[in-house]
Amino acid sequence: MFNFKKNPRHRLSLENREGLRLSDLRPGDKGRILEIGGSEQFRLRLIEMGLTRDTEVCVDKYAPLRDPMELIIKGYHLSIRGVDAQKISVELIN
């Protein structure tokens, strides 16, 4: 699902920023949320949890089986699945 480590070209895609997804980030990366896609209910749930536009989000780590991922946002830890993280476009702000 996320071949962020195995794919050497991955970093390149980070450079052009276009279409960068939260699921593309590696542990330790920081990003700024641009847009959340998906169903209305899903979007609202995430917004309620604090994933609002322009919020900084840090990828803390991935679960041992590579899914879900752990984020740090607004000072607390939140876990979401890779499929859902794919619906969130971000920009890298390292």
Partner 1 sequence: MNFNVALAGNPNCGKTTIFNHLTGARQHVGNWPGVTVERKSGHYSFGDHKFNTVDLPGTYSLTAFSAEETIVRKYLVEDRPEVVVNIVDASNLERNLFLTTQLIELGRPLVIVLNMMDMAEEKGLEIDVDTLATLLGAPVVPVIGRTGEGIDLLKEKILRVVTEQSQKSRPIKISYPRDIEAELEKISMLLEEESDDDHMRRWTSVKLLESDKQTRDEIRKRNQGQGILAQANASVERLELLFKDTGRAIVSHARYGFIQGAIRECVKENLKLSTDYSRQIDRLITNRWLGLPIFGFLMWLMFKITYDLGSIPMDWIDAGVVLLMNTVSNILPQSMFASLLVDGVIGGVGAIAVFLPNIFILFFIIAMLEDSGYMARVAFIMDRIMHNIGLHGKAFIPMIMGFGCNVPAIMGTRILESRRDRILTVLINPFMSCSARLPVYVLVGGAFFPENAATVIFSMYVLGIVVAIVSGKLFSRTILKGMSKPFVLELPPYQRPTLRSLTLHTWERGYLFIQRMGTVILVGSILIWVLGYFPQSVELSRDYDSERDQLVNTYSGKILDLNARYDASIDHARSEYHSKLVEFEASAAFLDLETQYNDLMSKFSFAQENDLLVLRQQEISEITEHRWIGKVGKLFEPIVAPLGFTWRESVALITGFIAKEIVVSTYGVLFGVGENVDEGNDGVISSLRTSGMTPVVALGFMVFTLLYTPCLATVAAIKRETGTWVYTIFSIGYSLSLAYLLAFSIKYFGGMFNWLT
19: tokens are: 């279409």
Confirm or reject binding of residue 5 to partner 1 (CB under 8 A): no
Rounded to a whole number of angstroms, the minimum distance from the CB of residue 15 to partner 1 is 27
Which of 6-14, 17-25, 72-80 is the region at the interface with partner 1 (rule: CB under 8 A)?
Answer: 72-80
CA distance linking residue 14 with residue 21, whole number of Å: 9
How many residues are recorded in the chain? Answer: 94
Minimum CB separation of residue 12 from partner 1 in Å reads 25
Backbone angles phi, psi at 34, to 5 degrees: -100, -45
64 touches partner 1 by CB under 8 A: yes
86 binds partner 1 (CB under 8 A): no
Query: Side chain identity at 30, as an amino acid letter?
Result: K
